[in-house]
Amino acid sequence: MSKREPNFVTASNKKVDAFYTFFPNKTEEQIPGKFPYTRGIHAEMYRNSFWTMRQYAGFASAEESNKRYKYLLSQGQTGLSVAFDLPTQIGYDSDSPQASGEVGKVGVAIDTLADMETLFDGISLADVSTSMTINASASVLLAMYIAAAEKQNVPSHKLRGTIQNDILKEYIARGTYIYPPGPSMRLITDIFSYCHKEVPQWNTISVSGYHIREAGSTAAQEVGFTLADGIAYLEAACAVGLDVDDIAPRISFFFNAFTDLLEEVAKFRAARKLWAIILKERFGAKNPKSGMMRFHTQTAGSTLTAQQPDNNIVRVTIQALAAVLGGTQSLHTNSKDEALALPTEQSARIALRTQQIIAHESGVCETVDPLGGSYYVENLTESILLEAKTLIDKIDAMGGMVKAIEQGFVQASIQDSAYQYQKDIEEKKRIIVGLNQFQVAEEADFDLLKVQDDVEKNQVAKLKLIKESRDNTAVFDCLFLLENAAKGNQNLMPFILQAVRNYASVGEICHALRRVFGEYRENIIL
């Protein structure tokens, strides 16, 4: 977050207080920064620091993505957010037959530590906070980030950032899983344990409701299923002997922001309140930071239209405003062209400027929780909270989130909501401007970002060179030790880190674990 100079007045120079309430005897719930944090986790919120403006970016090669990161930082972005290509996400190297046609297409291709070094070349990892949207192979990419920092002489205890590392929502909504749930949860708790000791400023998981909402859930389902995932991760951590007050403060969340402005504000407030109650009453957390829900928000990709793409700028503005009014700690704003392609430099700049205009010109950051006390918003907050709690109770009755996923309850609930949403659009009960109403003849094409055809060939050539020039005996020894460790109960992070330092590839490391853990195959629920 970027520090602010105090100047809390309206455009007409009227003084603005830190927060407002109509109640003469203020209870703690009416005060920002007090349990259960309905009104925000900090007393001053954006009066002290703006949220982290963290544009999600990554495409083609590490060299190309590095240029985009430097450009965004030069334009005022305050944090990095890395998108990886699909082969990297599911543990395949760029030279694998399974990767053919997908290298560098929806994110940056990372095969070895050499790529990670290039990705952050000229960017001090001591000075930037980095989020990485990576799940099944999160342990490998985190190890590469730590090793890249070592190359810059930055010790791991100085690193700040987040890995998504949320495998349960992959089984629910997204599909980039590798291993079955049991081994996947082991890798997550290994990361918890390792980072608690070695990378203490790192957020070890970002529990993601974003993809649940993109798959078609309602706002209340997004809260209920996401918090149920969070409960499962905390229970897994406690089961291996970790203390909730050591782990919970490093858990963050990742939510979607749709265009229904006031419902989204209420959703964020409800999620924050419910999580605080869960940590206190269910887990007995004593550290106040354990129940402080810190979350990143991304505007809703599924709401963007290929028709009249300039309309997407307006949608994103409303969605970003909802996130800020709801008290987000970090924000990515989608670009207008993302229904058609990866964002161009120009459209990414407009998306970043949207955040900056909200921060510096809208006035909504001058007081905390400016919609608190609204009859409508308060009613929606309690309604969403109660519906989400009911879902969590149902999941508990099934034996927890893993069991609920295995039984298909979560997936079926989302599918039903997605069907109803789409049906409403097709019947014009829900108007999407430019899509099912107010259409125009297709507009002239504008420039779109295109990943060049030679990206895959060049990436494969780079990987071949690394594999020929590294100490392959050391690599094979590291992979042998990792595989043996996976058969036991040792923490796997030190073994993965040592393999990474010797330039073992993502695919080689993930295949070593596949040989022990196997691969997950989804049961199709009819």
Tens of pLDDT, residue by residue over 87-143, are 999 999 999 999 999 999 999 999 999 999 999 999 999 999 999 999 999 999 999
**What pLDDT score was predicted for residue 447?**
82
Whether the per-residue pLDDT at 317 is higher than 80: the answer is yes
Question: Does 2 score more than 70 pLDDT?
Answer: no
Q: Are 335 and 343 in contact (CB under 8 A)?
A: yes
* Cβ pair 48, 329 in contact under 8 A: no
Q: What share of the chain has pLDDT > 70, as a percent? A: 98
For 28-359+367-426, which CATH class? Answer: alpha beta
- As a whole number of angstroms, the distance between CA 289 and CA 202 comes to 15
**DSSP, res 216:** T
| Own/partner long-range contacts of 283-287 (Cβ < 8 Å, ≥24 apart) | 283/234, 283/238, 283/244, 283/248, 284/244, 285/244, 285/245, 285/248, 286/245, 287/245, 287/248, 287/249
Segment 164-189 shows an average pLDDT of 96
Least confident of 179-188, 487-496, 514-523: 514-523
Mean pLDDT across the stretch 287-310? 97
Cis upstream peptide for 343 (omega within 30°): no
What is the pLDDT at residue 3? 64
Are 37 and 372 in contact, with CB atoms under 8 Å apart?
no
Query: Which pLDDT belongs to residue 1?
Result: 47
What is the largest distance, in Å, between two alpha-carbon atoms of the chain? 73
pLDDT at 405 over 90: yes
Distances (CA, A) of 306 to 26, 69, 312: 48, 26, 9
Q: Over 50: is that where the pLDDT of 310 sits?
A: yes
Residue ranges of the alpha helices (H) in 166-218? Answer: 168-169, 181-198, 210-214
What is the percent of the chain where pLDDT is above 90?
A: 92
**pTM metric for this prediction:** 0.95
At 449, which helix (H) or strand (E)?
none
**What is d(CA 508, CA 463) in angstroms, rounded to the nearest whole number?**
12
| H or E element in which residue 202 lies | strand 202-203
Dist CA 399 CA 70 (whole Å): 47
Average pLDDT over all residues of the chain: 95
Q: Is the pLDDT of residue 523 over 80?
A: no
Residue 24 pLDDT grade (very low, low, confident, very high; cuts 50, 70, 90): low
In this predicted structure, what is the pLDDT of residue 291?
97
Question: Which tens digit of pLDDT belongs to each residue from 237-291?
Answer: 999 999 999 999 999 999 999 999 999 999 999 999 999 999 999 999 999 999 9
For range 421-426, the mean pLDDT: 97
